[in-house]
Amino acid sequence: MSATLNLCSGNGMSASFRELMPQFERAHDCKVVMHFEPGQILQREIKAGKSFDLGVMGKAALEQLAKDGYIAGDSVRVLTRNGIGVGVLKGAPKPDINSVDAFKRALLNAKTVAYTSEGASGIYFAGLIEKLGIADAIKAKARTQPGGLVADLVVNGSAELAVQQIPEILAVAGADYAGPLPAEVQQISVNAAGVFVKSPERALAHKLLDFLRSPEAARVFKARGLEPEPA
């Protein structure tokens, strides 16, 4: 293979990228090495000196990395948008979460609730339960981890409900997507990509960025719970 590209991304894009990258690798005779972590962890790793060619994460975080000189500002492109949802064990009854009151009841009635401590959805959810006045009750039965797919905790029996970005719930075999957070408390994440200033494979990284904004990529993103941004 002629080149290796190092890609860092939040977990919400992981299932889509694993499906898409073999096609890009074949077309360009290259290897794409993928590294998935929550955006906060990726930012710490980048600032500590870890090197990548293309970064994909929340738009605000990526733009901050551009301001700090890590990402080429003129390369930043929005890829997708998505909301936060709830996951349950496959085949289990899906709770009513169609209103804020119903969502609160579902959380309070659940024996255990899983969310991330450092992922964007988990940080938002921690603030949301404070606003809803149920933080103490939920924290007492919380199952948290820094990042990764928390619907795995539903599948292995550690939690009854998982709250995370919709694509991350859909990525877990053995979990069912129960639905999105009510519109009044929903948070939409905007996922963007950019090329690293010090990438030794900047031309190829730009080709990957173009591919991720192609109709082929858009079809995969949509099937994985992401709303692609028009190219």
User: What's the pLDDT tens digit per position in 146-199?
Assistant: 999 999 999 999 999 999 999 999 999 999 999 999 999 999 999 999 999 999
Mean pLDDT of 65-78: 97
The pLDDT score that the predictor gives to residue 32 is 98
Tens digit of pLDDT for each residue in 6-41?
999 998 899 999 999 999 999 999 999 999 998 889
Packing angle, helices 14-28 and 202-211, rounded to 10: 120
Kindly report the pTM of this predicted structure. 0.87
CATH 3.40.190.10 fits 84-185, yes or no: yes
Spell out the domain ranges in the chain. Answer: 3-81+190-228, 84-185
Does the pLDDT at position 1 exceed 60? Answer: no
Average per-residue pLDDT in the chain?
A: 96
Q: Would you say the CATH fold of 84-185 matches that of 3-81+190-228?
A: yes
If you classify domain 3-81+190-228 with CATH, what class do you get? Answer: alpha beta
The two tokens of residue 7 are 């890609």
The two tokens of residue 141 are 């039965």
In degrees and rounded to multiples of 5, residue 36 shows phi and psi of: -110, 125
